[in-house]
Amino acid sequence: MAKQVGIMASAASCGTSITEGQIDAMVAAGFKRINIVYDNEPQGQMASFSNLSKFGGREGLYLSVMFLPFDENVPLPERDPDTFLRTKGKDAYFEVKPITAFDQRLNCLMDAGLNGLQVAEDMVKLIVNEPSKVRQGEMIQTLSTRTGVKEEDIRSEITRITDKRVLSITETLSKRLALSRDARERIDLIKNSTLELGQFNEEKDADLSFEESAMAFQTTCSKFEKAVDGIGGWDTGWKFFNESFDGLPKNGQIIGVPGASNCGKSAWITTLATNLLQKNPDGPVVVFHSLDDPRETAFAKLLSCVTGLPIRFITRVAKYGTADKAVKETYERAKAWVLQCMAEKRLVVKGQEIGNGTKVTQKLIDQAHSISGRNVVYVGDSLHSLDDQASHDERVKFKRVAEWTMMMTETRPLTMVFTVELRKAGMQGRPKLADLAESGKLIYAMKAIGFFYSELHDLRQAAKKFWVDSGRDPSTNMVLPPVKRPIIEVDWIKNKVTEFKGLSHLKLYDHIARVEELTDQDLTKELESAKTLMNERTESNFAPGAAVRRPQNVFFSPLPAGKNGN
């Protein structure tokens, strides 16, 4: 009804109390002035006071509430904004005077019997957030009169808080400028910081002119028309992905890879993480968060991925490294590389030990950005283990987690990449969008979704899409029996990053947590090779997973040249 009468910037919350996630979403969308409308009943008043107390002191947010007066003959269940607008109209609505967070909190603190200095110290944070200098002056005068604290003392405290905020922004800008790669990136950093500095203590016109819109349009078109060398996002080391997605987006995006268990999702994000670190030395800080495994498992996967050594070699390096010095040397070089990435503040690895709540994850991401001064790529395995710790209902939990991920990527220099577990009992065949129905809000939150499917895992002996690994044992260099390994189909059914949709294929090394991209030509070659070997051998000739063939693009070779078994 609000939009029907011309109040376009409006939204309805579900229930009496507005949530922190809803406030975050509105702020992220650019709204700094939020007016919450209630009926004039006790329940609404209690909720309003609670919300003003909870959100009224947030930086850059001007919050107020408004109580709608209804005639006595209006039934209680019908006393809502829709009824008021329908019966009294927009003009009557705008005649109702809002109550600001400042007025409400000041009254509450004074009624609580606190001394003037205590009240003033609490109220200053609300004054700092007020963008209008005129209104700010009125608030200072009111606060001084009510508390007895001198106006100049209140102004001095406001200046101290503002200076601290500006210093924080400029220090972060300085760090990020030092890490920037070119003039274009430095200009963007300066523009963003200027906007951030202007978010407080500056009055903004509600009515924008046609000239302003035209200027913004011209600026945007100029940005579109600038020549860009290479890709716009981070280099993933995958040619097809870089071409289809313009690299991994640098911020503002959520990418999900759903699929059944054991179909290569974890290997994909592990390879993505290591490739980002290898290909972008001046790039993001990668936060690798194993939500459902201990950190020790995450470390083993990372080392296995960059060396091409099986995970069992990594976790028992004392045994296998003693037998072959090349294995031990490879392990040591990879270990030194991981430590170097951490020393350069480019890699953080956490496991389930720190918990899986959104609050601890948010703190982890914010600290990574603050300490490194870099954009953040958060890699989470898996999303279903992330918990808002506020609900036992799965659907409600997924909704809140989805809202949280949207808020995070909209308010921070952050891209989030998640594996998503499809846990439907007895699920067979290629996954589809309906399989995400239990977490439907996640579909909306994610900007790109790629379903993972392994025919070898699904159909077992009847599978026709796989590759054959006929390699050598790194510790003995002995030729081993061939092993069937999965070829993964990735069906990108949603993509709001570049609009590309379609299939891509991966070669999964399931024993070393790594994948390689396959071109159409590569895929045909692998399938023909597998078919030939299948015709030459019986099923009993295939080993149950012992063979080791090192991927071509691992960073540290575990075998001397000419002895890699490829």
pLDDT, mean of residues 313-332 = 81
Strands 33-39 and 62-68: parallel
Going from the C-alpha of 278 to that of each of 44, 197, 235, 271, 283, the distances in angstroms are 55, 34, 9, 10, 10
Nearest Cα to 85, choosing from 3, 9, 206? 3
- How many whole angstroms separate alpha carbon 258 and alpha carbon 263? 10
Structure token digits, residue 196? 């951030």
pLDDT at 479: 65
Tell me the C-alpha distance between 162 and 219, whole Å. Answer: 30
- CA distance linking residue 400 with residue 22, whole number of Å: 10
What tokens appear for 393 in the block? Answer: 């209902």
How far is the C-alpha of 66 from the C-alpha of 55, rounded, in Å? Answer: 15
Residue 85 contacts residue 5 (beta carbons within 8 Å): yes
Q: Which residues contact 537 (CB under 8 A, 6 or more apart)?
A: 482
CA 163 vs CA 140, 168, 170, 201: distances in Å: 18, 9, 10, 12
Alpha-carbon span 124 to 159, nearest angstrom: 10
Nearest to 450 by CA among 395, 505, 404: 505
Q: Are 266 and 381 in contact (CB under 8 A)?
A: yes
Nearest in space to 308 (alpha carbons), one of 151, 482, 511:
511
DSSP 410-426: HHSSEEEEEEEE---TT
Contact between residue 554 and residue 490 where contact means Cβ atoms under 8 Å apart: no
Amino acid at 123: M
- pLDDT digits 0-9 by tens, 218-257: 767 776 777 667 888 999 999 999 999 999 999 989 999 9
Give yes or no for residue 62 having a pLDDT over 80. no
d(CA 319, CA 352): 28
What's residue 208's pLDDT? 45
Instruction: Examine the pLDDT at 279 and tell me if it is beyond 90.
Output: yes
Determine if residue 188 is left, alpha or beta; phi over 0 gives left, psi from -120 to 50 gives alpha, anything else beta.
alpha
- What is the distance of C-alpha 127 from the center of its chain? 32
AA identity, residue 298: A
Please state, rounded to an integer, the average pLDDT across all residues of the chain.
81
* pLDDT recorded at residue 96: 84
pLDDT tens digits, one per residue of 2-53? 667 777 777 777 655 677 777 777 877 777 788 888 766 655 555 555 666 5
Question: How many residues are listed for the chain in this entry?
Answer: 566
Query: In the prediction, which pLDDT does 448 show?
Result: 94
Percent of the chain's residues with pLDDT above 90:
35
pLDDT band at 566 (very low <50, low <70, confident <90, very high): very low
Tell me the per-residue pLDDT of 505-529, one tens digit each, with 9 for 90 and over: 999 999 999 999 999 999 999 999 9
The answer to whether 479 and 493 are in contact (CB under 8 A) is no
Distances in whole angstroms, Cα of residue 542 to Cα of each of 466, 467, 484, 536: 13, 12, 7, 11
Residues sharing a CB contact under 8 Å with residue 142, sequence separation 6 or more, in sequence order: 106
Record the pTM. Answer: 0.62
Q: Tell me the pLDDT tens digit for each residue of 179-215.
A: 777 777 777 777 666 655 555 444 444 444 565 577 6
In this structure, are residues 501 and 492 in contact, taking their beta carbons and an 8 Å threshold? yes
Cα 281 to Cα 180, 234, 278, 331, 342: the distances in Å are 11, 10, 7, 21, 12
Quick one: which of 493, 487, 475, 553 has its CA closest to 520? 487
Give pLDDT, residue 560: 38
Backbone angles phi, psi at 7, to 5 degrees: -95, 90
Contacts of 105 (CB under 8 A, 6+ apart): 52, 53, 56, 57, 122, 123, 126
* Tokens linked to 307: 């060396």
Q: Would you call 534 helix, strand, or coil by DSSP? A: helix
Dump strand ranges (E) for 385-513.
414-421, 448-454, 466-469, 483-495, 502-509
- Which residue, chain included where needed, has tokens 């930086």? 59
Query: Can you tell me the mean pLDDT for 139-156?
Result: 91
The lowest-confidence range among 5-14, 129-138, 207-216, 356-365 is: 207-216
Other CB atoms within 10 A of residue 372 CB: 20
Q: In the predicted model, what is the mean pLDDT of residues 67-85?
A: 80
Query: What are the tens digits of pLDDT across the range 87-100?
Result: 888 888 888 888 77
Structural domains in the chain, CATH included, are 20-113 (no CATH), 239-541 (3.40.50.300)
**Exposed/middle/buried for residue 513 (C-beta within 10 Å: 0-12, 13-18, 19+):** buried
- pLDDT tier at 130, thresholds 50, 70, 90: confident
d(CA 460, CA 386): 31
Q: What is the 3-state secondary structure (H, E, C) of 38-68?
A: EECCHHHHHHHHHHHHHHCCCCCCEEEEEEE
Q: Is the pLDDT of residue 175 over 90?
A: no
Residue 126, H or E segment? helix 116-128
31 or 378: which leads in pLDDT:
378
Cβ proximity of 386 and 358 under 8 Å: yes
Q: Which long-range contacts (CB under 8 A, 24 or more apart) does 220-226 make?
A: 226/184
- Spatial neighbors of 222 by CB under 8 A, at least 6 apart, are none
pLDDT of 424 over the 70 cut: no
* More confident site: 169 or 322: 169
* Cα gap 170→346, rounded to integer Å: 21
Q: Kindly calculate the radius of gyration of the chain based on its CA atoms and give it in whole angstroms.
A: 29
Burial 47-85, CB ≥16 within 10 A → b, else e: bbbebbeebbbbeebbbbbbbbebeeeeeeeebbbebbb
